[in-house]
Amino acid sequence: MTATDHALQLTQAAAAAAADKLGTDLVAFDVSEQLAITDVFLIITAANEPQVGAIVDGIEEALRELDAKPVRREGDREQRWVLLDYLDLVVHIQHNDERRLYALERLWHDCPAIPLLVDERR
């Protein structure tokens, strides 16, 4: 089983929105073989708490245009690690410190990486 076309469409839109808000180190993994609850993990780094919030807002706005709303949102009070759950896609927006500490890529490095069609150097 691989990620659905819908999950991939949401992933690309979320990645583009994150890049527009200067999110960095974007990486996406197809976790559909390992997890029954979602198809894709998208991980994004933000330099500070306000930027975490801006990326979250940008992603929600972009995905709303695709008629997608998160079914769950966690961590938005602290703005250090916000998780947006769109069922097919789970987005992790992490402050630099949390990204280094939790190193989610290490946990999912065996999963296929999804090429992201974004330019992070805007």
Per-residue model confidence (pLDDT) at position 41: 98
Annotated domain spans of the chain: 5-108
pLDDT averaged over 10-residue windows placed end to end, the chain, 122 residues: 93 98 97 94 97 97 98 91 97 96 93 91 58
Angle, to 10 degrees, between the axis of helix 5-20 and the axis of helix 49-64?
A: 140
pLDDT of residue 120: 74
Q: What homologous superfamily is domain 5-108 in, according to CATH?
A: Beta Polymerase, domain 2 (3.30.460.10)
Per-residue pLDDT at 119:
80
Give the pLDDT confidence score for residue 81 in this predicted structure.
96
Structural element, H or E, at residue 40:
strand 40-46
